[in-house]
Amino acid sequence: MWLLNSSIGRKVVMSVTGIALILFLTFHCCMNIAAFFSGEAYNTICELLGANWYAVVATLALAALAVIHIVYAFLLTAQNRRARGSERYAVTDTPAKVEWASQNMLVLGIIILLGLLLHLFNFWFHMMFAELTEMHVTYSPSDGFAWIKDTFSNPVYVVLYIIWLVAIWFHLTHGFWSAMQTLGISGKIWFNRWKCIGFIYVTILMACFLLVVLAFAFKLAPSLCCAI
């Protein structure tokens, strides 16, 4: 199957799964912004998206997308390394038109993967997993607001999350327009437009995530009793 065996097919899979993950991040961002304004509103969303069958199915689908994206990223990296052969050991000047993110996508990907594992431990493990297994945890599995406050009261987690968000920003600002180019949506006219759109969109998206982290870190977020 060409999606599995060819370089172009693998890039198409990477692009489609990448776009799907960006859409999820957009939804997740909107959910997090609710926590900035109202603890009750955020917990209402958490209860709605608790250990229900549709939430579990959506979680499994999201996990599959993430795994496919990561696996294909490593396959493409290995393929590119084999194609370059001994040339990859040669000392060459960095091409002026090649973005830093493009040259360091593997490193960025590893940072993002480690950050994802940390994020899953801090939230998914203590919320959905705890609810499904009836595991005893410090707060109620549906009290997402309490878990956010607890996580970002730790300065170490705050720093790690900032590093994670910066890595995601670099990864997505390159990946956004690259996906459009791979899917054939980006022509000569739209190439720079997609780069501009991607830069603005991803910057706003990551800034919103960062705003939530810093708001809870500096205790600027509302208390649970506050509502919009």
pTM of the model: 0.84
| Residue 28 pLDDT greater than 80, yes or no | yes
d(CA 41, CA 60): 25
pLDDT reported for residue 88: 45
pLDDT in tens, 89-133: 444 444 445 567 767 777 888 899 999 999 999 999 999 999 989
Q: What burial class does residue 5 get, using C-beta atoms within 10 Å of its C-beta: 0-12 exposed, 13-18 middle, 19+ buried?
A: exposed
Band (2; pLDDT cuts 50, 70, 90): low
* Inter-residue long-range contacts of 192-199, CB under 8 Å, 24+ positions, other chains counted: 198/172, 198/173, 199/173
DSSP at 154: S
